[in-house]
Amino acid sequence: MITLGDPCGIGPELLLRTLPELASQASVVVAGARAGVDLLAGGPMPFAWEGDHLVTGGCRIPWIDPTPQITAGGLTLGQGGAASGLAAVEGVRAGALRVQAGLGDALVTLPLSKAAAHAAGFPIPGHTEFLQALSGSPITRMAFASPGLCVVLHTVHQSLRSVIEELDEAAVAQTLSFAADRFAQLAGRPNLRIALCALNPHAGEGGAFGHEEELLGRALARAQADCAGGAWSRLPSPFPPG
């Protein structure tokens, strides 16, 4: 299940460029405003509509448009607004509900504009928080995964000032424990090695550049204690220099 994202943004172009390869590897359904693709008519990536299917690059893809009232005539490429924000958010909603209903195995989201979503009346910080609200999950975290390295973000979609002001030992420990549990299951590895990034330059350099690393160190120890006998082993982090 792929959501188009903001129809005035990069999502429609990314979709047209990647669909042929994606469709050769999986059964793909797209949710979003057809108008976003229509904005690219006459461009280097030819496409056509056959009923509720998009035809491009030799593939025929089922399409769900939750906002058919939005047309290309009311949108401008590169200029998001209330209409494109509405289309983007409702596309994510449609895709997520479809996966929750068992009609899809995974959700892939193309970029949306937070400013456009806000203009449409959706004060969401981003995809992660919106999907958490739709699913009712008590905890979610954004993560980036590769075969050799996985990175989990503790703070997202907030100012740098607020990151420092809201730093909390219990919350950091929760992120560490949650990440360890999820990735142990996803990777099928019982002995994950986890490092916690420092906040200040040089991990605070013994207090010379801040003391937040003391809090992070306590959070790491707390998470380790909570997961005693669990699926991960501690690394001595945040790492000091030298």
Cα separation of 64 and 81, whole Å?
21
Contact call for residues 198 and 152 (beta carbons, < 8 A) = no
pLDDT of 91 > 70? The answer is yes
pLDDT of 100 > 90? The answer is yes
pLDDT of 242 > 50? The answer is no
Res. 180 pLDDT band, cuts 50 70 90: confident
CA separation, residue 74 to residues 7, 46, 65, 83, 198 (Å): 11, 22, 16, 8, 47
Res. 7 pLDDT band, cuts 50 70 90: very high
CATH code 3.40.718.10 region(s) in the chain: 2-135
Cα separation of 65 and 90, whole Å?
9
Higher pLDDT, 4 or 146: 4
Contact call for residues 192 and 200 (beta carbons, < 8 A) = no
Please choose, from the candidates 8, 68, 76, the residue with its C-alpha nearest in 3D space to the C-alpha of residue 33: 68
Please give the pLDDT value at position 181: 85
Is the domain spanning 2-135 CATH 3.40.718.10? The answer is yes
Average pLDDT over residues 155-175: 93
pLDDT digits (tens, 9 = 90+) for 29-69: 999 999 999 999 988 999 999 999 999 999 999 999 999 99
Please give the pLDDT value at position 231: 55
What's the maximum distance between 2 C-alpha atoms anywhere in the chain? 65
pLDDT > 90: percent of the chain: 71
Higher pLDDT, 1 or 202: 1
Res. 71 pLDDT band, cuts 50 70 90: very high
Please give the pLDDT value at position 190: 66
pLDDT digits (tens, 9 = 90+) for 108-131: 999 999 999 999 999 999 999 999
Mean pLDDT of the chain: 91
Please give the pLDDT value at position 213: 92
